[in-house]
Amino acid sequence: MAASPEATARIPGTSPHLASRIEDWFHDVREKSARRRGHTATIIPYTGYGSPGWVRVLCRVLLSKPGTGTRYKKIRGWRSFTSVPLNDASVIITVNGIEHRVTADRGGVVDTVIDCSLTPGWHSIGIRTEDSEEVEAPVFVVDPAARFGLVSDVDDTVMVTALPRPLLAAWNTFVLDEHARRPVPGMAVLYERLLQDHPGAPCFYLSTGAWNVAPTLNRFLRRHLYPSGPLLLTDWGPTHDRWFRSGRAHKEETLRRLDAEFPDLRWLLVGDDGQHDEEIYSAFAEEHPGRVQAVAIRQLSTGEAVLAGGRKSDEERSAATAVPWYYAPTGAGLAEQLLGDTRR
């Protein structure tokens, strides 16, 4: 499995956790086997973002049979977790004709910031290795004049997955494809209207899902007409100092990072009441006063709440902030409450 960069940073003076050493050994064995079979490097590009002075580039380096790299764009279910990551690969990123060399992490993931000069809006950058074809990765550069940003959870917020229940999570991740997942009614329309009201504003999709499923999630978002935007994912498995990564910590750290990268934006945070979104958003609003414009929570149906292990009580959300909170079971219900507020 791929390793998230922030989760695998080496800690000076400590040795890697046993689990991470086992994972590294397993990756090494699979890489050597794939090399013997003639597999070569393939770049899986992810949507990046930035501002006029920099861009954050995201991609993953895998090994595949020559000529079959494009199949990863269409891969589904459990097969997305059988790919062979290329550890510590040297990757060449081309922006405005200038090459930048970086190194993928121990799971083949590249997550790096490149200094460059790009105008606001969508751009394409080139990514390759010494022995792979160059692929194009989309990058959204946020307009410096923008004052609004949208951060959305994915599971049970834009699509119904009942993720917290382990067996259903495994079924949704390893078996089903994007055709079998249902969009939350009205959410795509809500997001589109919000971004139309705020030209140049970014839309980020923040999830505890693995990088392996990024192509599936992107297909789902496109199919159901959600606005384009970077997926900010993590991965499962061991880290440098623990057996499993923390999905909650990933969300908390990513929110802080986005807030530091875009200090002029005020955020609309969208999630659901079946996991920890309310607690995470409440804590973020308290830590960053004045930086959250509103919080929108999609209320799960009774059946979804049962599958998700229950519904959080409104009382669990902190009353210490003056941030307005909105609750509704659909995007249309949230739109009725939200649009007037975010236009101010």
Say what the pLDDT of residue 211 is: 84
- Give the relative orientation of helices 331-342 and 187-197 as an angle to the nearest 10 degrees: 10
Strand residue runs (E) in the chain? 40-51, 54-64, 84-85, 90-95, 98-103, 109-115, 121-128, 135-141, 148-153, 159-160, 182-183, 203-210, 231-234, 266-272, 292-298, 325-328
Q: Show the domains of the chain with their CATH numbers.
A: 5-141 (2.60.40), 148-342 (3.40.50.1000)
CA dihedral of residues 155, 156, 158, 159 (deg, nearest 10): 80
C-alpha distances out from residue 199 to 193, 196, 259, 321, 340, Å = 10, 6, 19, 28, 16
Say what the pLDDT of residue 183 is: 94
- Tokens describing residue 121: 């809006």
Say what the pLDDT of residue 161 is: 74
Angle at 246 (CA atoms; ends 152, 250), nearest 5 degrees: 35
Q: CA-to-CA distance for 274 and 253, rounded, in angstroms?
A: 20
Which residues have CB under 8 Å from 39's CB, separation 6+? 63, 64, 65, 66, 84
Say what the pLDDT of residue 3 is: 38
| Closest among 225, 274, 281 to 251, alpha carbons compared | 281
- pLDDT by residue, tens only, the chain of 344 residues: 333 444 334 444 445 555 555 555 555 656 556 555 666 778 999 999 999 999 999 999 888 776 555 555 555 544 445 577 788 889 999 999 999 999 998 778 899 999 999 999 999 999 999 888 899 999 999 999 999 999 999 988 999 875 555 555 555 555 556 666 789 999 999 999 999 999 999 999 999 888 888 888 899 999 999 999 999 998 765 444 444 566 789 999 999 999 999 999 999 999 998 878 999 999 999 999 999 999 999 998 766 655 555 555 554 454 446 899 999 999 999 999 998 666 55
Query: 36-66: string of b/e by CB count within 10 Å (b at 16+)?
Result: eeebbbbbbbbbbbbbeebbbbbbbbbbbee
Say what the pLDDT of residue 8 is: 39
Say what the pLDDT of residue 81 is: 53
Handedness of CA 187, 184, 74, 81 (dihedral sign): positive
